[in-house]
Amino acid sequence: MNNLTDDKRMLVYGPNSLHTDIFCFSTTRHGGCSEGNYASFNCNHYCGDVPDKVERNRELLCSLLPVRPRMMVVPHQTHDTVVRVVDEAFLQLSSEEQLNQLEGVDAMVSDMRQVCLCISTADCIPVLCYDTKRKVIAAIHAGWRGTVKRIVEKTLDKMAALYGTKGEDVQAYIGPGISLDAFEVGDEVYEAFEAAGFDMACIARRDEKWHLDLWEANRMQLLSKGVKKDNVEVAGICTYQNYTDFFSARRLGIRSGRILSGIMRM
């Protein structure tokens, strides 16, 4: 089960109690120093916030984690399917080289300790995965474009190829994002999912316009790779409906804060 911390700054996910060697979370809007549509706990540099405030929020976040990370890895996401491996070689790169390697990255995998992989969202779906046998973590940004391109499946394929991950050993968490009720789309988006082979009866509903269930579309990808149904936990928190607690780009506009969802081996 997900639990809001007492200070309301973080949503802490169920796997932490099941596997004490990892910590996974999503930030809320509360308890930071940013202002306006970034108020107040925005930890993302790519959305127009004041850089100094973002750094102060990140420093605060690091202090709240049970173990201080060697590095908090936050890519510049572009709604594609590039999966970056974060290993010791990456950590030894200069800051500039690291930023270059994180450009256009929407998912990351790692087996490093005390490296916090973070994904930024504000209606898109954050997916966090942990291979409990091989001690591998993944953080995935799944907007509708990434979802229709099956970024979750591609990330699990990368974990399997590099580390020997098997779906049956994976614990997965789908964090706060836009819900079926709130995610109204045009015919072209519906048709893109249909063409990609999704079971539309399970993920779509027609009102005046089509509505899509990105939570379910990503859950189905996890199951297709062998992740056990009972090992997939869905937060069930709609960012659009709960925009006072979680950032929502559809509510606040693109120039607004982002939720940071992270996973770290301790």
pLDDT single digits (tens) 193-207: 999 999 999 999 999
Task: Give me the pLDDT at residue 210, please.
Answer: 99
Percent of the chain surpassing pLDDT 70: 98
Residue 159 to residue 177: CA distance in whole angstroms: 24
Confidence band for 19, pLDDT divided at 50, 70 and 90: confident
Residue 251 to residue 176: CA distance in whole angstroms: 15
In sequence order, the 6+-apart residues with CB closer than 8 A to the CB of 97 are: none
Closest by alpha carbon to 128, among 82, 72, 174? 174
Whether the predicted pLDDT of 258 surpasses 90: yes
27 within 8 A of 62, measured Cβ to Cβ = no
**H and E: helices and strands count for the chain:** 10, 15
Task: Give me the pLDDT at residue 15, please.
Answer: 54
Tens of pLDDT, residues 30-77: 999 999 999 999 999 999 999 999 999 999 999 999 999 999 999 999
Confidence band for 2, pLDDT divided at 50, 70 and 90: confident
Tens of pLDDT, residues 139-154: 999 999 999 999 999 9
148 within 8 A of 195, measured Cβ to Cβ = no
User: Does CATH place domain 3-265 in 3.30.70.2860?
Assistant: no
The mean pLDDT value of the chain amounts to: 97
In sequence order, the 6+-apart residues with CB closer than 8 A to the CB of 92 are: none
Secondary structure (3-state) at 16: helix
Burial of 254 (0-12, 13-18, 19+ CB in 10 A): exposed
Whether the predicted pLDDT of 16 surpasses 70: no
Task: Give me the pLDDT at residue 20, please.
Answer: 82
Stretch 235-247: mean pLDDT = 98
Q: What is the DSSP secondary structure assignment for residue 223, as one 8-state letter?
A: H
Tens of pLDDT, residues 70-121: 999 999 999 999 999 999 999 999 999 999 999 999 999 999 999 999 999 9
Q: What is the DSSP secondary structure assignment for residue 241, as one 8-state letter?
A: T
Whether the predicted pLDDT of 176 surpasses 90: yes
177 within 8 A of 160, measured Cβ to Cβ = no
Whether the predicted pLDDT of 18 surpasses 90: no
Residue 190 to residue 200: CA distance in whole angstroms: 8
Task: Give me the pLDDT at residue 138, please.
Answer: 99
Task: Give me the pLDDT at residue 14, please.
Answer: 76
Confidence band for 1, pLDDT divided at 50, 70 and 90: low
Enumerate the domain spans of the chain.
3-265
